[in-house]
Amino acid sequence: MEIRFSQRPGCWERYLQRQYQNPLFAEIRDREVTQAEVERAQKRDESERQKFTSQFQKLLEEVATLQAQVEADVVLHLRTKIDSLYEHCAGLGGKDYSMEKNALVKLGELIVESIRASGLHDSKTLKELEKEMVARQLHFNLLEYPLIAHLLHPESPINEASIVPTLLSEENKALRAAMTLFGAEQQKILCTAARDLIKRLQIEGKRVPSVVLLRLETMEQPINKLN
């Protein structure tokens, strides 16, 4: 029976979609993905969307009611909340959230401008703020790939057992982005585990698509650059 997936799956549905008829997950699944599982995942993703929408509206109300003069810690707390909501938004399915993401980016920029304009910080603090801005933008760039948001989700379904087959199931651009989340030692561990998984599947006579071998090469690129 063919499974019906959404056009824009969220974190939990995408997790099942990767596993559907995928030999890379054979060791952690003893049966095929069912429509009932997908529907449960879709409900969880819908709950995530509702949670984000509620928090997003509360943030807008909070910003709208800010006084002209506000304590620095309140402003910094708002910036943290904005960044957290952006990360949450990046992993949602169901629709295009470009408008919400753009709004969060603009709010973050306003927060930074208010910190600069306050005159309460010395040049060293402002330099640190500039560094944070650059790092923040790089992080947001990574979040253009939903996989990144799904990996970083505090309750991510992608666990230790499924992370390697998950990485090997992604397109190269998303895979390259995902590998930057890990340090050199973690990258080596993941690549070794990926090679071992492929070898075991081949020994068992399971067909491993050639594209998976190319993805393994992509995973190994950061390590090879260090050698």
Residue 176, domain member (yes or no): no
Q: Which of 202, 218, 209 minimizes the C-alpha distance to 167?
A: 218
Residue 136, domain member (yes or no): yes
Given a cut of 80, whether residue 115 has pLDDT beyond it is: no
Residue 144, domain member (yes or no): yes
* Confidence at residue 132, expressed as pLDDT on a 0 to 100 scale: 82
What 3-state class would DSSP assign to 196? helix
- What range defines the domain where residue 78 resides? 50-149
pLDDT (tens digit per residue) in 142-151: 999 999 999 9
pLDDT (tens digit per residue) in 145-182: 999 999 999 999 999 999 999 999 999 999 999 999 99
pLDDT (tens digit per residue) in 2-50: 899 999 999 999 999 999 999 999 999 989 999 999 999 999 999 999 9
Residue 34, domain member (yes or no): no
**Helix ranges (DSSP H) in the chain:** 11-19, 35-64, 72-90, 98-118, 123-142, 146-152, 163-168, 172-179, 184-203, 210-226
Residue 64, domain member (yes or no): yes
Residue 72, domain member (yes or no): yes
How many folded domains does the chain comprise? 1
Give the predicted TM-score (pTM) of the model: 0.89
**Separation CA 201–CA 70 (nearest Å):** 59
* Confidence at residue 224, expressed as pLDDT on a 0 to 100 scale: 84
